[in-house]
Amino acid sequence: MCATCGCEGDGVAVITVGYQDHDHPHEHGPEHEHPHEHAVTTLTLEQKVLAKNDELAAANRVRLRQRGILALNMTSSPGAGKTTLIERTIRELESVPVAVIEGDQATMLDARRIEATGCKVVQVNTGAGCHLDADMIRRALDALETVPGSLLFVENVGNLVCPALFDLGEAGKVVIVSVTEGTDKPLKYPHMFAAAELVLINKTDLLPYVDFDLGRCVDYARSVNPDVTILPVSATSGDGLAHWYDWLTSRLTAGISMS
Ligand code: MG
């Protein structure tokens, strides 16, 4: 989890301090380790980081619900086509007001792509962080003038590990996997796929050129999440996108009651 791997800024800093600040009542040489103390400290901090995040996420959820905004947490590996899918969806789903929060470690590149569609967008740069957290979303919502009844895409940092742990206050999670990746992604990253309401298998226009077994990927995703909806799409050719728009429309109609 992030307080351990180094991407959770506060957590890592405190863990390091906590490790250095532990009592030294006994004499010993400079080269020693306290693996047990370190493990306990890390576990406590992980729980605190996630508990604090869950609290902020709950507040975000109430705030979004009060404004009637349907927020979807869009997750994937880097390069699966999240931004391309969101760009095209904004252009083709004209009847629904859309806003976007873009998460990347660095650059405004994706925010500029979204801005070019005429959509409201806020970029969050996470620095060393490998995921968005609820406090980042709170601050992004402060900066974003969302229209009541709108759809909010939160494009998470490309990563299938940590985003599964950090609730943002969204109504639901969408996982995008592309056919240029391994068929076995759902088995390798089960937490993300188990948490998803919808799995989009993107870049299907490339299926003739890559070694990707669509049927097996669907079976693997269902093995970790039996009820998940799975839609093969191509955000570049447009294949299958009608089903994605139908899903979005019905999800909007259902509103935030499912969250
Ligand atoms: Mg992107």
Other CB atoms closer than 10 Å to residue 107's CB: what's the count?
11
Q: What is the pLDDT of residues 106-132, one digit of tens each?
A: 999 999 999 999 999 999 999 999 999
Mean pLDDT within 236-259: 86
What are 82's two structure tokens? 């999240």
Calculate how far, in angstroms, residue 210's C-alpha sits from the geometric centre of ligand 1.
22
| Rounded distance from Cα 5 to ligand 1 centre (Å) | 23
Identify the sign of the CA torsion 114, 119, 122, 124: negative
Q: Residues 97-112: what's their mean pLDDT?
A: 94
The phi, psi pair for 102, rounded to 5°, reads: -100, 125
The 3 state secondary structure assigned to 217-247 is HHHHHHHHCCCCEEEECCCCCCCCHHHHHHH
The confidence score (pLDDT) of residue 181 equals 98
Give distance in angstroms: CA of 156 to centre of ligand 1. Answer: 8
Q: Is the pTM of this model over 0.75?
A: yes
Instruction: Output the CA torsion sign for 187, 191, 194, 199.
Output: negative
- Work out the pLDDT band at 38, boundaries 50, 70, 90: low
Predicted pLDDT at 182: 96
Does pLDDT of 169 surpass 60? yes
**In angstroms, what is the span from residue 110 Cα to ligand 1's centroid?**
6
**How many angstroms separate the CA atoms of 166 and 172, rounded?**
12
CB-based contact 147:153 (threshold 8 Å): no
Is the pLDDT reported for residue 214 higher than 90?
Answer: yes
Domain boundaries, the chain: 35-254
How far from 60 is each of 141, 168, 192, 244, 252, CA to CA, in Å?
9, 7, 21, 25, 18
Per-residue pLDDT averaged across 145-151, rounded? 89
Could you give the CA distance from residue 94 to residue 79 in angstroms, rounded to a whole number? Answer: 25
Per cent of the chain over pLDDT 70 is 81
Place of tokens 């909010």: 152
Q: What mean pLDDT is predicted for residues 132-152?
A: 93
Distance 74 CA to ligand 1 centre (A): 10
Between the CA of 119 and the centroid of ligand 1 the distance, in Å, is: 15
More confident residue, 84 or 49: 84
Reply yes or no on whether the pLDDT at 2 is more than 50.
yes
Q: Is the pLDDT of residue 240 over 90?
A: yes
Listed residue (240, 185, 191) closest to 218, CA to CA: 185
Q: What torsion, rounded to 10 degrees, do the Cα atoms 101, 95, 193, 205 define?
A: -100
Residue type (1 letter), 11: G
Residue with tokens 């068929």: 183
Is residue 198 over pLDDT 70?
Answer: yes
Question: Per-residue pLDDT averaged across 180-197, rounded?
Answer: 98
Q: Report the distance separating Cα 14 and Cα 200, nearest Å.
A: 38
* Domain 35-254 falls under CATH 3.90.1170.50: no
